[in-house]
């Protein structure tokens, strides 16, 4: 009797097992500070959530701790519409501002995306391929870290892409308009979080084509897909918020056409550190087999791949320097890899089963790279604690470290760091004279190092009395 029940429920038992294992690998450093990979982006995101929770900012005027450019004296943060940060802020309201709250939100989004993925591939291809697709998604290195651990909007963007695809398939099957509308809304929220999620539109359009939809359906999904992001860009312009400092990710187009750099992007950033080389190899097999068999499923995926190339050309520096820029086409890689595995399974079930532990091992091993703390993580955490203790919540500081805002964000204090003017405070005397126009309260000097020339700093601090000398920092007061 028990055996029959297990056999009957085997598919869902396997799904539950994969999800449990996926949750377990994402529990690493679960309560630890946000000092692992891309820590500045993580802490920026968490600060937005914290200020929403504390009432210091609102959904339509979000703020971060790092103030960029230097003229942004309110610390407004308009890089994405803060749907994700709003969920974390809601969790803070319920449980308090603890780092594990954000990671609980991540795990919930991971489960939602995973179930949508499984249901979609099961209906579109078959249940065995769906289970393997779930394994790939759960154990891709980038998925383990960015979809389930890192406090980063990509977890929402990717999870909602899966949900949008799933609901579009349901619309294709049932014809219920509510599924079409919900698909568009979830795509729109995903795009408002990470705009290049729009490159999944070919697959959504393909499902509409299979349904023989009229033009109206295409217009609905297209408009809903861009409405939130489009309004947010308009709102940013209307408020006259300067976000031009982030345009550095759009430069460097000539690098994309350098074969050495392109190889590094594909082999290291994407295949190596985000998708995993095993999953990437399976995706290549899936693509080749789809072409060879003239499978109609490959047509929208080819268009999606073309969208990836366009994405690289539009945002070259972003893709070259940050692995997480590849997250928005993680669903594409999962589908192709699942198709590749399905082909192998049709030839040899034993070989297909042997691939499973390789995918899991490769994903866990490579993801450990992302979980490594930043070089000065321990010192930054201690400095943050001292800033939090000595500097009031309403005070603004200049932190004398170049390209390192972690102590500001970890302490939930607003201010500037050293860098390139006018995005950040330049490390020259004239820059500090200019900063007097932007109403800072303190200069915080980390005792382990100061990213200023000694002679320049000696002159600068003559104008600011030492207010407090702590274990890790000196605090100088504006006057």
Its sign, for the CA torsion 167, 168, 173, 178, is: positive
Peptide bond preceding 66 in cis form (omega within 30 of 0): no
Strand partners, 445: 474
- Give me the pLDDT at residue 262, please: 86
Reference 339, options 276, 295, 274; nearest CA is: 295
Q: Cα separation of 92 and 147, whole Å?
A: 20
Task: Write down the pLDDT at residue 81.
Answer: 97
Q: Residue 323: its pLDDT value, please?
A: 86
Length of the chain in residues, anyone? 479
DSSP 435-476: HGGGT--EEEEETT--SS-HHHHHHHGGGS-EEEE-SSEEEE
Instruction: Give the closest residue to 365 by CA, choosing from 277, 284, 285.
Output: 277
Predicted confidence (pLDDT) per residue in 356-368, tens digit? 999 999 999 999 9
Q: CA-to-CA distance for 284 and 339, rounded, in angstroms? A: 10
Q: What is the pLDDT of residue 3?
A: 66
With contact defined as beta carbons under 8 Å apart, do 397 and 415 qualify?
Answer: yes
**374-400 confidence digits (pLDDT tens):** 888 999 999 999 999 999 999 999 999
Distance, CA of 218 to CA of 68 (rounded, Å) = 38
CA–CA separation, 224 vs 246, rounded Å? 25
Helices (H) and strands (E) in the chain, counts: 22, 5
Residues in the chain with pLDDT < 70?
1-5, 7
pLDDT at position 250, please?
A: 85
pLDDT given at position 251:
87
pLDDT (tens digit per residue) in 180-213: 999 999 999 999 999 988 999 999 999 999 999 9
**Crossing angle (nearest 10°) for helices 177-193 and 154-174:** 160
Nearest-angstrom CA–CA distance, 411 and 442: 15
pLDDT at 247: 83
């Amino acid at each position: 009797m028990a055996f029959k029940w297990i056999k009957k429920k085997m598919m869902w038992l396997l799904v539950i097992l994969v999800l449990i294992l996926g949750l377990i690998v994402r529990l690493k450093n679960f309560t630890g500070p946000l000092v692992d990979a891309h820590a500045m982006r993580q802490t920026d995101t968490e600060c937005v959530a914290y200020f929403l929770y504390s009432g210091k900012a609102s959904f339509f005027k979000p703020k971060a701790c790092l103030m960029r450019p230097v003229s942004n004296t309110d610390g407004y943060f308009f890089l994405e519409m803060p749907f994700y940060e709003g969920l974390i802020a809601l969790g803070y309201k319920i449980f308090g501002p603890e780092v594990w709250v954000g990671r609980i939100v991540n795990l919930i989004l991971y489960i939602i995306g995973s179930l949508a993925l499984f249901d979609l591939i099961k209906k579109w291809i078959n249940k065995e391929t769906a289970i393997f697709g779930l394994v790939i998604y759960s154990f891709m290195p980038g998925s383990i870290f960015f979809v389930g651990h890192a406090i980063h909007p990509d977890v929402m963007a990717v999870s909602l892409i899966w949900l949008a695809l799933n609901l579009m398939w349901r619309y294709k099957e049932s014809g219920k308009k509510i599924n079409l509308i919900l698909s568009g809304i979830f795509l729109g929220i995903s795009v408002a979080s990470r705009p290049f999620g729009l490159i999944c539109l070919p697959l959504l359009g393909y499902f509409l084509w299979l349904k023989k939809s009229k033009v109206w359906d295409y217009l609905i999904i297209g408009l809903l897909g861009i409405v939130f992001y489009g309004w947010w860009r308009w709102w940013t312009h209307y408020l006259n918020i300067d976000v031009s400092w982030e345009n550095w990710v759009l430069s460097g187009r000539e690098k994309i056409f350098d074969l050495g750099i392109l190889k590094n992007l594909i082999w290291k950033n994407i295949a190596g550190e985000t998708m995993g080389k095993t999953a990437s190899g399976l995706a290549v097999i899936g693509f080749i087999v789809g072409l060879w068999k003239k499978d109609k499923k490959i047509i929208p995926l080819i268009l999606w791949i073309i969208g990836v190339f366009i994405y690289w050309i539009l945002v070259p520096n972003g893709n070259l320097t940050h692995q997480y820029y590849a997250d928005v086409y993680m669903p594409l890689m999962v589908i192709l890899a699942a198709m590749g595995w399905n082909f192998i399974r049709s030839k040899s079930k034993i070989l297909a089963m042997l691939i499973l532990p390789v995918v899991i091992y490769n994903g866990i091993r490579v993801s450990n790279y992302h979980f490594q703390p930043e070089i000065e993580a321990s010192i930054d955490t201690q400095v943050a604690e001292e800033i939090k203790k000595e500097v009031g919540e309403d005070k603004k500081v200049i932190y004398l470290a170049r390209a390192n805002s972690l102590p500001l964000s970890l302490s939930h204090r607003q201010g500037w760091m050293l860098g390139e003017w006018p995005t950040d405070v330049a490390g020259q005397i004239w820059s500090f004279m200019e900063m007097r126009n932007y109403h800072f309260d303190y200069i915080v000097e980390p005792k382990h190092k100061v990213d200023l020339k000694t002679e320049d700093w000696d002159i600068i601090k003559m104008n600011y009395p030492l207010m407090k000398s702590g274990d890790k920092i000196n605090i100088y007061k504006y006057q």
